[in-house]
Amino acid sequence: MKPRVLVLNIDYSPITICSVERAFLLIFLNKADFVSQNKDKFLHSVSQSFPMPSVIKLKRYIHIPYRGVMLSRDNVFKRDGYKCLYCGSKKDLTLDHVLPKARGGKTSWNNLATACKICNSKKGDYLPEEMNMNLLRKPFKPSYVMFLRDFSGYDYMEWKPFLEPKNLNNAKAAG
């Protein structure tokens, strides 16, 4: 997996994740500052060595009107850890409407669950309780920060102060 960089707004709120090359370019163009670097890795030119950024902060505020997680098949699978929420299987995954569409169920974060084909077929147009099937975890809508923190596939210690809700105020104070 290629190294990635957490991008923060000027107020230290997380905006996105970008490539190391993009982050370095933002720093080089004086559009962002280093907040944290990868201690073991460096970027090299022909004659110089530069610290590899891990977290950067933009120098001007970027207004982002909507910072939600888009509802998509892949994002539901990520939220559920690529496991069936009924049996825990990781094979032949599909999406299941917990409250079936035939009974008025909507396509939403709170009503979609990852299910293997066997469990999805067994449940059919019934409620899980009617088929004696229990969800391992109730479906939910992840927040943007939660999605970056838990479902991006990256787990960098340098990111934690900026992605942990209880630490957000401490990170702002440190900057």
Length of the chain: 175
pLDDT of residue 160: 84
CA atoms within 13 A on the CB side of 86: 26
pLDDT value of residue 2: 81
What is the average per-residue pLDDT within 88-97? 97
- What is the percent of the chain with per-residue pLDDT over 90, rounded to a whole number? 58
User: If you average pLDDT over residues 105-132, what whole number do you get?
Assistant: 96
Query: Residue 150's pLDDT is what?
Result: 75
Identify how many contiguous H helices and E strands the chain contains and give both numbers. 6, 6
**pLDDT digits over 43-84, tens only?**
777 888 888 899 999 999 998 877 788 899 999 999 999 999
For the domain spanning 73-131, the CATH number is 1.10.30.50
State yes or no: pLDDT of 166 exceeds 80: no
Residue 8: CB atoms within 10 A of its CB come to: 23
- Domain boundaries of the chain, sorted by first residue: 4-66+143-174, 73-131
What b/e readout covers 79-90, taking b as 16+ CB neighbours within 10 angstroms?
Answer: bbeebbbbeeee
Asked whether the beta carbons of 70 and 142 are under 8 A apart, the reply is no
